[in-house]
């Protein structure tokens, strides 16, 4: 393994940051979900890279964790999209600032 | 011991969860069957399902208890369950309509909850000899700490189910609703006993995803939709951030198992990895703080509480929050062990505590919507509890190997307060459901003088509010006193002073509700058009009595909390 | 610079540039394709680390499932709803860049576990782990319950009420 | 390196320098309106005394302090000569960074004190004439005094925390002064723009300070430099974070010293009264950035210096080009200031340390002079600022004309004038850097070329200004009836003109026309430590090689000649040339669209979020207070009995008041907008991480 671990962690950190920036800067709920997916991918890279570096029983554990993350991400995407479409039905918008009946 | 025996023994330790899962499946089947209830053979199907469920539960119970080495006979309970179920389904065939639509799945859930609760009590007593419990499936830790939270979750499920059955604003989709509700509580039960990052993540997601769906369950109401979207987006982001924190903690703690992580981190001094571990901890604690709505991760809270159906709000404010605390306390107890980390973790908690109690109370001051007021009040209560979490290690002195250990008295105060908080908040939200339905409004300004029209429920509500304020002789008073004691003993005197100041502030808005209810004569009030079912009032009175009972005799709950805290 | 490092650079560049496309693109559809590129890059990272099964899963679930789901979402909502505010995006992007730079200064001084380079879990190993009592059987079961709940709940939310008349009838009964 | 500590008496007198304007400010702001002449003499006198003290210290530095020493004194131990929080409140907890207001006093400080107090005093005197009749006459002097206090504190401060505090105070007071005529929307907006734009640089500076603090666990600047020497060894090894910290600190200078791309606030800041422009935008505040770079000079690694040189020289060229196309007399001077600041920064970046700081001093005199003279012209022209409407003022305003000509020649770098010596040294330094290189050799040619070209442009646009304003026929009603200004205004002009002639090299006394024996490089010497592992250029700055000398004179004369051809003899037509230039002229005329770019992508997003917060604050907190007070008043007046009126209502109102005020805080955040929630949360996580890393 010639690529040092720190490069993987750095890549994960970059994805995390971009994901956060997408979340806070784009004005569309679907974009927010995309940002979440980027963060999850960053976390997964961490899991796999660390697992490989730790060795022992961890390569399997890292793989399993990542698979669960992927599965749950899909489930979450489904729920979130169902809710977003539902909101679209009520408010006619997918901008995060438009559903704004509840405040203060 | 063969693999199969070991397997069954493991199943025995997660009995309450299995019973709940079975209940969820039954609800689903019932719903499926009821969808096509026009045809005659559906009765047969109902009977088959009932019998299968009954026998299945009975078998499970017997096998588990045998595996645990305890004579637990569950046949009677199952028989009762089956009988009730057959009666209601048959009744349903004769009295078609909304009422039974609402009742049947609810009753199934009630029966399942009682059964699971019965089981959990059995586990609790089995654990009294050895509170540390055992590790099952190599992933979960069934100790008295987790069973305590399981009991809390089951009580919440019971009461929320009762509330839902009397919640008229929910018109259809009861099967789905209860499936989500039970699913959420299942998630809680896995969450509170997990000792492994993967299980924490899974449990939390089960809880969260079900909660998102529940928050948006009133499809015709845009406010409910707004609550759901705010919750799901905010929650999705928070859980992703938390997961990123997990990935770092995993890499630098060298394990997925919390105990091992703690050992590993305590062994490593703060070196060059300080920043990465710090980021991991900040992300993890931040992501988890969202679940308990601690400032500054609380933004979703007032909006979602207001928009969600009130029984769901009750669930979010009580069970979901308690589960979040269960995990946070476990994680803080693990992460804070290391000599370098203790101070950082507890300082973050202290800051969150100070912000939460102040923000919650200030926010509640000008609310007129009672649900929203309670939402802010719950943020404030999170602040009070976090005060004890910050002082979790007491006046920490390093043990062998330079690690720190949790002060059991601090943990006890947290557990006690969570129990107390659950009782009084269940009551408060229930009373709001009742009064809001009668007045046709959740706004306080429409409640003037209603206290004279609905004396029992309003009176009980005042008891709950007194308890939330922390006035003796209520359970809230004693709980708060424990928290203050913990904070002062742990060296957070400034937090205790701040909390005292905040309590004075909170008096103002809690009493505003009482003032509205009773200060004007009955003649000037709006008329009461709808009167919810009497069973609701009975539940509320029972909760009110519990509030007073544990206030006068706190030792009953305290000993349970103390025994459970010993497992940490 | 070895071939592996070169390969890493390529897949990492794919992942980052995909993510950046997602961030910057004006059209949400293009963003979704940027997301696909990012996912492909991440799958490449998995493959590079020797996790073939995970890489395939990533492709199947993310590229084949999640992104398609998002595209459905895009199709079901008017495309022109989001006006991209460049100033806002660049403001946050600048903040993100600053924090990233600051953080990576510390990151590259961090002592991390040394790489071991053992072969990673293959499909058989993962399958066995998923179905073994002392390994990951319980999470597997929990996930199944979770998926069931999500399925039913999402259907409830997404389902259109078919007959208004029937609703009204039910409303009267209530 | 030697470290001296000064005596308690010295320390007390040093503290008196900023304390005098502070006291004047307090007196003026509270009692000014009841004092005779609205109290204008209070700050003026205070500044006069401060000037005397500063000159005293300066002479001491010239005479007693060893010029080869970099830093003369350091953080005094608490209780001895420092004013320490630990000293006030008993012993500080062990391990906590000791927050001491310590004075860092070296020869650079001595020079800066004289510059600041000198310009400030002259501006005070000038303002007596300039601001006469203004409805907030007294208030203006109070602000001037407050600004002087902040600036002097900044110069004296020997501690990162206090440096930061005074730095921000300077920004705040400049906001007050730029927006002094806030009834004019453009003035209010300019103040706001200056505040926000410089704040963007300050964020970088704060981060840089945090990094420094994290690594050294101390706020004391002298201690930091001592420890830095240990970190970097003999200045051969530069850890990456030092470069990062240095560049982040430089960001602060970019904001305050108006370097590209944050220069956009300075031209707009001309909306402020002209004395303010002279004080803040020529001599003191904008110089603070250069001072900061000089102060932290040891912190800049070779690569950081390259960046600094590039930014500075690009700014110098860029602003000079824009200055050619301006019509507003003050805006020409504003762009000229940006350009000259670029010179100073570039000089520091090229290693010509004393040349850059010398230019800071000489520029302070003649640019303050130019601004005050333009103010005199503006008063004479009845507040007309467009040069197209001037002309022929030479005879009508002789004192203004002659002093302005002297200052202009100084700015153009004509021999015998102070600007010549400093600018020539800078160009010599840049050429030396180009010849000897640093890292990335060929890049070093850019500063040299850019600075020479900018020198030509400088003399072109300055003489364009002179010819347009003072020569030819009067081109408007006002120009016909222009008149000389009163003595309070002209005396400062003459003083500044004299300084513009003799401040660098008093050749009239010692005949050192070519500047071989300038006093400045001997007083503010190149930091010793720097010589070891880095570009060594100050020798070049002293020697004045023949090529730079000839070149800078030729270029300056060439610029003057061109201006003469264009605007006096009219051999060449400016309009014609502008048309020929086409899109380039358009781009220049529109200031290369940097304003639009920066406003759109940096300032406006910041302002957007800021406005949301401010609006919410106004709406909820301020209105809440006003309403509560108003309602309280109404109810109290309607109350029946005394008890009701004062006690019951008092309690009720107090409660209502509390609810309104404190409830507003929660409302501020609970906006109901999901996107804002997410942004708040991201900010909270970032803040938590910072807390975690740096403070807990």
Give the Cα separation of B62 and B361 in Å (integer): 50
Contact D537, D430 (CB under 8 A): no
Contact: A47, B302; criterion CB under 8 Å: no
> In chain B, positions 184-213, which contact chain C (CB-CB < 8 Å)?
186-187, 190, 198-199, 202-203, 205-206, 209-210, 213
Predicted pLDDT at C165: 42
Predicted pLDDT at C164: 47
Give the Cα separation of D676 and A46 in Å (integer): 29
Mark whether B124 and B196 lie in a shared domain: no
Give the Cα separation of D307 and D324 in Å (integer): 26
Q: Suggest the residue from A63, A80, A91 to mutate for an interface test with chain C (most C CBs closer than 10 A).
A: A63
How many C-beta atoms surround the C-beta of residue D263 within 10 A?
29
In angstroms, the separation between the Cα of residue C163 and the nearest Cα of chain A is: 17
Q: Which chains form contacts with chain B, at 3 or more CB pairs under 8 Å?
A: A, C, D
Does residue B183 sit at the C interface (CB-CB below 8 Å)?
yes
Give the Cα separation of C85 and D417 in Å (integer): 52
C127-163 pLDDT per residue, tens: 888 888 778 888 998 998 899 889 888 888 877 765 4
Lowest mean pLDDT of B182-186, B315-319, D232-236, D462-466, name the range.
D232-236
- Identify the band that residue D530 occupies on the pLDDT scale cut at 50, 70 and 90: very low
- Calculate what percentage of chain D has a pLDDT beyond 90: 4
In angstroms, the separation between the Cα of residue C113 and the nearest Cα of chain B is: 8
Q: Suggest the residue from C16, C29, C121, C158 to mutate for an interface test with chain A (most A CBs closer than 10 A).
A: C121
> In chain A, positions 38-67, which contact chain B (CB-CB < 8 Å)?
39-40, 42-44, 46-47, 49-51, 53-54, 58, 61-62, 64-65
Does residue B64 sit at the D interface (CB-CB below 8 Å)?
no
Q: In this model, does residue D422 exceed pLDDT 70?
A: yes
Q: In this model, does residue D99 exceed pLDDT 80?
A: no
Q: Quote the Cα angle for D518-D524-D527, to 5°.
A: 125
Q: In this model, does residue C56 exceed pLDDT 70?
A: yes
Going by C-alpha positions, the residue among B229, B183, B227 that lies closest to residue B206 is B183
Mark whether B380 and B484 lie in a shared domain: yes
Predicted pLDDT at D268: 81
Cβ pairs bridging C and D (under 8 Å):
29
Structurally, chain B folds into a number of domains equal to 2
Decide: residue D159, CB within 10 A, 0-12 exposed, 13-18 middle, 19+ buried.
buried
Predicted pLDDT at A65: 93
Contacts of A32 in chain D (CB under 8 A): 678
Q: In this model, does residue D230 exceed pLDDT 90?
A: no
Q: Is residue B146 part of a domain?
A: no
Contact B263, B291 (CB under 8 A): no
In angstroms, the separation between the Cα of residue D619 and the nearest Cα of chain C is: 24
Give the Cα separation of A4 and B125 in Å (integer): 52
D348-361 pLDDT per residue, tens: 888 788 888 888 98
Does residue B278 sit at the C interface (CB-CB below 8 Å)?
no
Which among C92, C95, C105 is the nearest to D240, CB-wise?
C105
Cβ pairs bridging A and D (under 8 Å):
32
ipTM: 0.77
Give the Cα separation of D201 and D189 in Å (integer): 19
Domain boundaries, chain C: 3-108
What is the domain class of A5-103 according to CATH?
A: mainly alpha
Does residue A41 sit at the C interface (CB-CB below 8 Å)?
yes
Contact: B283, D667; criterion CB under 8 Å: no
Q: In this model, does residue C28 exceed pLDDT 80?
A: yes
With H, G, I as helix, E, B as strand and everything else as coil, classify residue B368.
coil
Distance of CA D146 to the CA centre of its chain: 15
The CA R_g of chain D, rounded to the nearest whole Å, is: 26
Contact D337, D367 (CB under 8 A): yes
Q: Quote the Cα angle for B529-B532-B537, to 5°.
A: 130
Which among B212, B251, B255 is the nearest to A83, CB-wise?
B212
Contacts of B250 in chain A (CB under 8 A): 46-47, 50-51, 62, 65
Give the Cα separation of D304 and B204 in Å (integer): 48
In angstroms, the separation between the Cα of residue C173 and the nearest Cα of chain A is: 26
Predicted pLDDT at B365: 80
CA distances to A15, B62, B185, C73, D157 from B19, in Å: 41, 12, 12, 37, 71
More reliable by pLDDT, B44 or D580? D580
Does residue D662 sit at the B interface (CB-CB below 8 Å)?
yes
Contact: C66, A60; criterion CB under 8 Å: no
Side-chain-facing half-sphere of C156: CA atoms under 13 Å:
29
C77: enclosing H helix or E strand: none
> In chain D, positions 201-220, which contact chain C (CB-CB < 8 Å)?
207, 211
Question: D70: alpha, beta or left, given left = phi > 0 and alpha = psi -120 to 50?
Answer: alpha
Give the Cα separation of B127 and B565 in Å (integer): 12
**Cα Dmax for chain A:** 55
Residues of chain B predicted below pLDDT 70:
1-2, 33-101, 269-272, 396-402
- Calculate what percentage of chain D has a pLDDT beyond 70: 71
Q: In this model, does residue D86 exceed pLDDT 50?
A: no
> In chain B, positions 185-244, which contact chain D (CB-CB < 8 Å)?
229-230, 233-234, 237-238, 241
D398-412 vs D546-563: helix crossing angle, rounded to 10: 140
Structure tokens at D17: 């320098």
In angstroms, the separation between the Cα of residue B254 and the nearest Cα of chain C is: 9
Give the Cα separation of B418 and B143 in Å (integer): 18
Contact B342, B336 (CB under 8 A): yes
Give the Cα separation of D695 and B351 in Å (integer): 13
Contact D306, D349 (CB under 8 A): yes
Contact: B210, C153; criterion CB under 8 Å: yes
Contacts of D678 in chain A (CB under 8 A): 23-24, 32, 96
Domain boundaries, chain A: 5-103
Contact: C154, B213; criterion CB under 8 Å: yes
Burial track D578-599 (b if 16+ CB lie within 10 A, e otherwise): eeeeeeeeeebeebbebbeebb
CATH classification code of C3-108: 1.20.120.1200
Give the Cα separation of D85 and D103 in Å (integer): 14
Give the Cα separation of B426 and B317 in Å (integer): 9
D482-516 pLDDT per residue, tens: 777 778 788 888 888 888 888 877 777 766 666 66
Cβ pairs bridging A and B (under 8 Å):
129
Average pLDDT over residues A7-12: 91
- Identify the band that residue D424 occupies on the pLDDT scale cut at 50, 70 and 90: confident
Does residue D241 sit at the C interface (CB-CB below 8 Å)?
yes
Q: In this model, does residue D601 exceed pLDDT 70?
A: no
* Residue with the two structure tokens 């045809």: B39
> Which residues, in sequence order, are bridge partners of residue B142?
B134
Contact: D602, C88; criterion CB under 8 Å: no
> In chain A, positions 77-96, which contact chain D (CB-CB < 8 Å)?
95-96
Q: Is residue B177 part of a domain?
A: no
Peptide bond between residue B70 and the one before it cis (omega within 30 degrees of 0): no
Contact C38, A47 (CB under 8 A): no
Which among A1, A50, A68 is the nearest to C139, CB-wise?
A68
Contact B249, B285 (CB under 8 A): no
Which among B233, B278, B300 is the nearest to D692, CB-wise?
B278
In angstroms, the separation between the Cα of residue D606 and the nearest Cα of chain B is: 21
Contact: B300, D677; criterion CB under 8 Å: yes
Give the Cα separation of C134 and C106 in Å (integer): 38
Q: Which chains form contacts with chain A, at 3 or more CB pairs under 8 Å?
A: B, C, D
* Residue with the two structure tokens 């609905």: B454
CA distances to D67, D225, D229 from D217, in Å: 30, 12, 15
In angstroms, the separation between the Cα of residue B200 and the nearest Cα of chain C is: 10
Lowest mean pLDDT of B398-407, D23-32, D653-662, name the range.
D653-662
B134: enclosing H helix or E strand: strand B134-136
Give the Cα separation of B350 and D22 in Å (integer): 39
D84: enclosing H helix or E strand: strand D83-84
Q: In this model, does residue D630 exceed pLDDT 60?
A: no
Give the Cα separation of D296 and D250 in Å (integer): 9
- Identify the band that residue C52 occupies on the pLDDT scale cut at 50, 70 and 90: confident
Mark whether B117 and B258 lie in a shared domain: no
Contact: D673, A97; criterion CB under 8 Å: yes
Q: In this model, does residue D409 exceed pLDDT 60?
A: yes
Average pLDDT over residues D293-318: 85
Does residue B398 sit at the C interface (CB-CB below 8 Å)?
no
Does residue B216 sit at the C interface (CB-CB below 8 Å)?
yes
Which among D244, D604, D686 is the nearest to C87, CB-wise?
D604
Predicted pLDDT at D70: 36
Average pLDDT over residues A51-69: 88
Structure tokens at D201: 């640089």
In angstroms, the separation between the Cα of residue C26 and the nearest Cα of chain B is: 22
Which among A37, A77, A95 is the nearest to C81, CB-wise?
A95
Which among B138, B172, B273 is the nearest to C170, CB-wise?
B172
Distance of CA B303 to the CA centre of its chain: 19
| Residues spanned by the domain of B27 | 3-129
3-state SS string for D187-216? HHHHHHHHHHHHHHHHHHHHHHHHHHHHHH
Predicted pLDDT at C43: 92
Contact: D241, C101; criterion CB under 8 Å: no
Contact: A99, B212; criterion CB under 8 Å: no
Lowest mean pLDDT of B288-292, C52-56, D171-175, name the range.
D171-175
Question: D187: alpha, beta or left, given left = phi > 0 and alpha = psi -120 to 50?
Answer: alpha
């Amino acid at each position: 393994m010639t690529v040092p671990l720190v490069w993987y962690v750095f890549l994960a950190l970059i994805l995390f940051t971009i994901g956060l920036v997408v979340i806070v800067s784009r004005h569309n709920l679907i974009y927010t979900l995309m940002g979440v997916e980027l963060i999850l991918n960053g976390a997964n890279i961490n899991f796999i890279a660390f697992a490989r570096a730790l060795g022992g029983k961890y390569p399997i554990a890292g793989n399993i964790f990542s698979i669960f993350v992927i599965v749950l991400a899909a489930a979450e995407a489904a729920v979130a999209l169902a809710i977003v479409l539902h909101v679209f039905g009520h408010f006619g918008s997918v901008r995060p600032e438009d559903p704004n009946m509840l405040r203060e | 011991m063969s693999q199969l025996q070991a397997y069954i023994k493991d199943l025995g330790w997660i009995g309450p969860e299995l019973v709940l899962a079975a209940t969820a499946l039954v609800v689903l089947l019932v719903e499926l069957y009821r969808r096509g209830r026009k045809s005659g053979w559906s009765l047969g199907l109902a009977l088959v399902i009932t019998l299968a469920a009954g026998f299945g539960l009975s078998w499970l119970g017997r096998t588990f208890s045998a595996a645990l080495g305890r004579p637990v006979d569950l046949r009677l309970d199952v028989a009762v369950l089956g009988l009730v179920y057959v009666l209601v389904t048959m009744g349903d065939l004769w009295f078609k309509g909304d009422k039974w639509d609402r009742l049947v799945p609810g009753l199934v859930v009630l029966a399942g909850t009682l059964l699971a609760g019965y089981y959990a009590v059995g586990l609790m007593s089995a654990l009294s000899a050895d509170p540390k419990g055992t590790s099952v499936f190599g992933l979960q830790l069934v100790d008295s700490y987790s069973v305590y939270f399981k009991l809390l979750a089951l009580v919440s499920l019971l009461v929320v189910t009762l509330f839902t059955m009397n919640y008229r604003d929910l018109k259809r989709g009861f099967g789905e609703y209860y499936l989500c509700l039970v699913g959420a509580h299942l998630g809680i039960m896995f969450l509170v006993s997990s000792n492994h990052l993967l299980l924490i993540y899974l449990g939390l997601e089960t809880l969260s995803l079900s909660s998102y769906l529940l928050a948006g369950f009133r499809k015709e109401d845009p406010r409910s939709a707004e609550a759901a979207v705010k919750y799901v987006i905010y929650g999705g982001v928070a859980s992703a951030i938390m997961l990123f924190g997990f990935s770092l903690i995993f890499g630098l703690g060298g394990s997925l198992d919390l105990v091992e992580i703690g050992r590993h981190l305590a062994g490593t001094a703060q070196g060059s990895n300080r920043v990465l571990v710090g980021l991991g901890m900040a992300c993890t604690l931040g992501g988890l703080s969202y679940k308990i709505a601690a400032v500054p991760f609380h933004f979703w809270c007032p909006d979602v509480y207001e928009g969600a159906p009130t029984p769901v709000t009750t669930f979010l404010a009580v069970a979901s929050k308690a589960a979040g605390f269960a995990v946070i306390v476990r994680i803080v107890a693990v992460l804070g062990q290391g000599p370098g980390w203790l101070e950082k973790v507890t300082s973050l908690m202290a800051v969150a505590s100070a912000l939460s109690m102040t923000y919650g109370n200030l926010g509640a001051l000008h609310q007129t919507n009672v649900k929203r007021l309670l939402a802010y009040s719950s943020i404030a209560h999170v602040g009070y509890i976090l005060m004890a979490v910050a002082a979790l290690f007491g006046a920490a002195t390093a043990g062998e190997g330079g690690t720190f250990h949790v002060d059991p008295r601090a943990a006890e105060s947290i557990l006690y307060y969570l129990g107390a908080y659950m009782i009084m908040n269940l009551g408060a939200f229930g009373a709001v459901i009742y009064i809001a339905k009668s007045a046709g409004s959740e706004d306080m300004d429409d409640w003037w003088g209603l206290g004279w029209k609905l004396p029992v429920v309003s009176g009980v509500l005042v008891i709950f509010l007194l308890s939330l304020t922390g006035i003796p002789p209520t359970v809230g008073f004693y709980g708060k006193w424990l928290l203050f004691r913990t904070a002062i003993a742990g060296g957070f005197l400034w937090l205790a002073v701040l909390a005292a100041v905040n309590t004075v502030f909170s008096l103002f808005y809690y009493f505003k509700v009482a003032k509205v209810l009773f200060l004007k004569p009955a003649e000037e009030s709006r008329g009461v058009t709808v009167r919810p079912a009497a069973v609701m009032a009975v539940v509320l009175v029972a909760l009110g009595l519990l509030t007073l009972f544990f206030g006068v005799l706190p030792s009953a709950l305290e000993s349970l909390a103390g025994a459970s805290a010993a497992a940490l | 610079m070895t071939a592996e490092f070169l390969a890493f650079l390529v897949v990492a560049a794919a992942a980052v540039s995909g993510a950046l496309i997602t961030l910057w693109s004006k059209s949400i559809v293009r963003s979704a394709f940027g997301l696909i590129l990012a996912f492909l890059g991440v799958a490449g990272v998995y493959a590079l680390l020797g996790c073939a099964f995970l890489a395939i899963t990533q492709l199947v679930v993310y590229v084949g499932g999640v992104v398609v789901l998002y595209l459905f979402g895009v199709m079901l909502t008017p495309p022109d709803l989001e006006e991209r505010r460049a100033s806002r995006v660049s403001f946050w992007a600048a903040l993100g860049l600053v924090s990233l730079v600051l953080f990576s200064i510390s990151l590259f001084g961090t002592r991390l576990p040394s790489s071991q380079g053992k072969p990673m879990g293959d499909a058989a190993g993962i399958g066995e782990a998923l179905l073994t009592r002392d390994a990951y059987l319980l999470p597997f079961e929990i996930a199944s319950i979770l998926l069931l709940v999500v399925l039913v709940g999402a259907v409830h939310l997404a389902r259109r009420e078919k007959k208004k008349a029937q609703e009204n009838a039910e409303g009267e009964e209530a | 390196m030697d470290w001296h500590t000064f005596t308690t008496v010295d320390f007390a007198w040093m503290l008196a320098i900023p304390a005098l304007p502070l006291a004047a400010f307090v007196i003026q702001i509270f009692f000014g309106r009841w004092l005779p002449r609205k109290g204008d003499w209070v700050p003026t006198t205070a500044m006069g005394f401060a000037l005397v003290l500063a000159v005293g210290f300066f002479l001491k530095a010239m005479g007693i302090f060893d010029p080869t020493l970099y830093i003369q004194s350091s953080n005094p131990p608490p209780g001895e000569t420092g004013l320490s929080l630990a000293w006030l409140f008993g012993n500080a907890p062990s391990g906590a960074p000791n927050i001491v207001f310590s004075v860092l006093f070296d020869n650079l400080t001595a020079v800066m004190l004289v510059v600041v107090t000198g310009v400030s005093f002259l501006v005070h005197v000038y303002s007596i004439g300039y601001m006469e009749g203004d409805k907030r006459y007294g208030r203006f002097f109070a602000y001037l005094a407050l600004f002087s206090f902040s600036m002097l504190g900044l110069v004296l401060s020997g501690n990162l925390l206090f440096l930061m505090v005074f730095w921000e105070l300077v920004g705040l007071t400049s906001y007050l002064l730029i927006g002094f005529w806030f009834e004019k929307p453009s003035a209010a907006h300019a103040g706001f723009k200056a505040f926000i734009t410089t704040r963007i640089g300050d964020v970088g500076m704060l981060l840089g300070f945090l990094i420094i603090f994290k690594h050294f666990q101390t706020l004391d600047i002298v201690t930091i430099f001592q420890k830095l020497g240990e970190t970097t060894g003999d200045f051969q090894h530069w850890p990456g974070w030092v470069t990062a910290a240095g560049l982040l600190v430089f960001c602060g200078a970019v904001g305050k010293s108006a370097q590209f791309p944050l220069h956009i606030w300075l031209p707009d800041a001309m909306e402020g009264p002209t004395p303010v422009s002279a004080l803040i935008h020529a001599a003191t505040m904008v110089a603070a950035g250069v001072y900061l770079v000089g102060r932290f000079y040891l912190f800049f690694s070779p690569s950081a210096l390259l960046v600094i040189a590039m930014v500075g020289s690009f700014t110098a060229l860029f602003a000079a080009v824009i200055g050619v196309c301006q019509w507003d007399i003050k805006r020409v001077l504003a762009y000229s200031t940006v350009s000259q600041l670029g010179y100073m920064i570039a000089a520091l970046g090229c290693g010509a340390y004393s040349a850059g700081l010398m230019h800071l001093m000489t520029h302070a005199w003649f640019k303050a002079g130019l601004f005050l003279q333009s103010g005199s012209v503006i008063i004479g022209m009845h507040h007309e600022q467009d040069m197209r409407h001037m002309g022929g003022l030479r005879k009508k305003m002789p004192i203004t004309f002659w002093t302005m000509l002297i200052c202009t020649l100084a700015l153009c770098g004509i021999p015998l004038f102070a600007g010549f010596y400093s600018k020539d040294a800078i160009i010599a330094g840049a050429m030396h850097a180009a010849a000897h290189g640093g890292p990335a050799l060929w890049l070093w040619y850019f500063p040299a070329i850019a600075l020479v070209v900018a020198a030509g442009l400088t003399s072109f646009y300055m003489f364009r200004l002179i010819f347009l304003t003072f020569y030819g026929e009067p081109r408007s009603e006002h120009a016909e009836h222009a008149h000389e200004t009163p003595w309070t205004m002209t005396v400062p002009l003459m003083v500044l003109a004299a300084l513009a002639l003799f401040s660098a090299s008093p050749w009239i006394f010692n005949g050192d026309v070519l500047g071989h024996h300038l006093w400045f490089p001997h007083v503010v010497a190149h930091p010793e430590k720097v010589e070891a592992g880095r570009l060594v250029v100050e020798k070049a700055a002293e020697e004045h090689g023949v090529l730079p000398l000839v070149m800078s004179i030729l270029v300056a004369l060439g610029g003057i000649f061109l201006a003469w051809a264009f605007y006096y003899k009219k051999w060449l037509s400016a309009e014609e040339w502008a048309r020929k230039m086409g899109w380039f002229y358009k781009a220049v005329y529109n200031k290369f669209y940097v304003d639009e770019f920066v406003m759109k992508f940096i300032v406006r997003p910041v302002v957007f979020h800021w406005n949301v917060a401010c609006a919410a604050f106004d709406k909820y907190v301020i209105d809440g207070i006003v309403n509560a007070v108003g309602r309280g008043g109404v109810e109290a007046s309607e109350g029946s009995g005394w008890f009701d009126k004062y006690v019951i209502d008092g309690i009720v109102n107090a409660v209502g008041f509390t609810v309104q005020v404190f409830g507003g805080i929660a409302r501020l955040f609970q906006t109901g907008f999901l996107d804002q929630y997410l942004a708040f949360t991201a900010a909270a996580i970032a803040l938590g991480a910072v807390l975690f890393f740096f403070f807990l």
